[in-house]
């Protein structure tokens, strides 16, 4: 145990470990809980989510991260701990549906779903605590009350939150068994061919950049994305694509489309166009596309059976203004595909 004041703004104590063979493959939070009997697993989860753990020199914020043989792990524990539970903040929410069991939100671009390293407040969770009080389900952990699934910070659209543990367990089961409907709209580079199909490549951490996800030839987790071309844009330089998720891996749509050569417009991590696609754009449109401020991805449809009543629920969100403006500017090629 050593002090780490050289890299910390406040006094912290570091715990250092090396993963031995019997522990390889364990979840990070369980590995740390087994090693540190005096710190609860919930507290360790909170520390991980706050960016207090480095694995092999990289900050890891996912408690479910699987440790590997011989990895160096450093846990920094503040002497004066940050409050584990987020505080409620009065932040406007676009509420699509609400009852005693759950709430469906149409999330705006730029809103982080739950507190984590670099985003300790101003999140959807902070807004939900202010709106719902202490009724939110605790299954998701102190930092993620009520959260069953997530959308990336700059992805817009529909997200369901559980208000109590029974609803959370029921919704989690639907996601686990894939017994729900999720559809996204994406503006991508190029035109997928064939116009309808599936991406099934396993997704895991990129071996070249641990901050990114990638389609892996070995390892990773099963990922299944169905896609359909909605319409060609800008004479095929761009396209509007509907994606339907059967699994819910981190950055799944962004990774699958990028791996197929059709990265999302505006994606700061997986973006980039093929030169041929960019050359098809006239200079004015090319400038607009290059300045699009986020990945062009929108969760437009969410359908599921109510976890308490069993009622069939389905919600749709209109295309956000920034994506709609880009679609209209790019123009739609009259190729017989359906219109959005």
- Range scoring the smallest mean pLDDT among 56-60, 224-228, 270-274, 291-295: 270-274
Domain end marker among 150, 177, 204? 177
The pLDDT assigned to 84 comes to 58
Q: Model pTM? A: 0.74
Q: Which two tokens stand for residue 340?
A: 């959005």
H helix or E strand, kind and range, residue 256? helix 252-259
Question: Looking at the structure, do residues 203 and 148 belong to the same domain, yes or no?
Answer: no
Catalytic residue among 23, 101, 106, 152: 152
**Residue 262: predicted pLDDT:** 95
Indicate whether 88 belongs to any domain: no
| Domain annotation covers residue 113 | yes
What was the pLDDT predicted at 295?
96
What's the pLDDT tens digit per position in 136-156? 877 666 667 888 999 999 999
CATH code where residue 130 lies: 3.30.2350.10
Q: Are strands 12-18 and 72-78 parallel, antiparallel or unpaired?
A: antiparallel
Total count of domains within the chain: 3
User: pLDDT class for 43, splitting at 50, 70, 90?
Assistant: confident
Q: How far apart are CA 299 and CA 293, in angstroms?
A: 17
Say whether both 170 and 205 belong to one domain: no
Judge if 137 and 202 occupy the same domain: no
Give yes or no: residues 172 and 197 share one domain: no
**CATH number (domain holding residue 74):** 3.10.290.10
**Domain stop point among 117, 152, 177:** 177
Mean of per-residue pLDDT scores for the chain? 86
Same domain, 199 and 135: no
**Per the domain annotation, does 85 fall within a domain?**
no
Residue 340 counted as domain residue: no
Is residue 23 domain-resident?
yes
Q: Last residue of a domain, which of 44, 78, 112? A: 78
161 and 196 together in one domain: no
Question: 266, 290 in Cβ contact below 8 A?
Answer: no
Q: Tell me which residue has tokens 């063979």.
A: 21
Predicted pLDDT at 275: 56
| Domain housing 130 | 95-177
User: Is residue 155 in a domain?
Assistant: yes
pLDDT at res. 7: 40
204 in the same domain as 277:
yes
Same domain, 253 and 197: yes
DSSP state string for 138-204: STT-TTSTTBSS---TT-EEEEEEESSHHHHHHHHHHHHHT-SEEEEEEEEES--SSSEEEE---EE
Could you confirm whether 106 is annotated as catalytic?
no
pLDDT tens-digit map of 93-116: 999 999 999 999 999 999 998 877
Report the C-alpha gap between 202 and 252 in whole angstroms: 10
- What local confidence, expressed as pLDDT, does residue 79 receive? 66
Q: Residue 337 above 50 pLDDT?
A: no
Q: Are residues 44 and 121 in the same domain?
A: no
Report the 10 Å Cβ neighbour count for 70. Answer: 11
Residues 194 and 322 in one domain: yes
pLDDT higher than 80, residue 85: no
Domain match, 250 and 314 both: yes
28 and 148 belong to one structural domain = no
For residue 264, give both structure tokens: 């999302």
């Amino acid at each position: 145990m050593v002090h780490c004041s050289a890299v910390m703004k406040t006094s912290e104590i570091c715990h250092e470990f090396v993963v031995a063979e019997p522990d390889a493959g364990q979840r990070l939070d369980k590995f740390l809980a087994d090693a540190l009997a005096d710190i609860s697993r919930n507290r360790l989860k909170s520390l991980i989510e706050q960016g207090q753990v480095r694995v092999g020199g990289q900050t890891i914020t996912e408690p479910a991260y699987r440790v590997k043989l011989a990895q160096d792990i450093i846990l920094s524990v503040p002497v004066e701990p940050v409050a584990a539970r987020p505080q409620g903040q009065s932040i406007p929410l676009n509420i699509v549906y609400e009852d005693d069991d759950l709430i469906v939100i149409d999330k705006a671009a730029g809103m982080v779903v739950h507190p984590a390293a670099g985003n300790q407040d101003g999140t959807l969770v902070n807004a939900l605590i202010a709106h719902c009080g202490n009724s939110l389900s605790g299954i998701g952990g102190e930092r993620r009350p009520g959260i069953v699934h997530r959308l990336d910070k700059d992805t817009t659209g529909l997200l369901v939150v559980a208000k109590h543990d029974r609803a959370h367990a029921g919704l989690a089961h639907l996601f686990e068994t894939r017994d729900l409907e999720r559809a996204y709209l994406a503006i991508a580079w190029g035109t997928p061919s064939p116009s309808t199909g599936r991406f099934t490549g396993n997704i895991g951490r990129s071996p070249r950049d641990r901050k990114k996800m990638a389609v892996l030839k070995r390892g990773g987790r099963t990922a299944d994305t169905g896609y359909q071309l909605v319409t060609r844009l800008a004479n095929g330089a761009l396209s509007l694509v509907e994606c339907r998720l059967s699994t819910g891996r981190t950055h799944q749509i962004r990774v699958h489309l990028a791996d197929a050569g059709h990265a999302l417009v505006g994606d700061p991590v997986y973006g980039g166009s093929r030169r041929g696609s960019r050359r098809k754009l006239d200079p004015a449109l090319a400038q607009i596309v290059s300045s699009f401020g986020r990945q062009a991805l929108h969760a437009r449809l969410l359908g599921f059976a109510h976890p308490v009543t069993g009622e069939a629920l389905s919600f749709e969100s209109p295309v956000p203004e920034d994506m709609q403006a880009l679609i209209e500017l790019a123009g739609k090629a009259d190729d017989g595909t359906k219109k959005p």
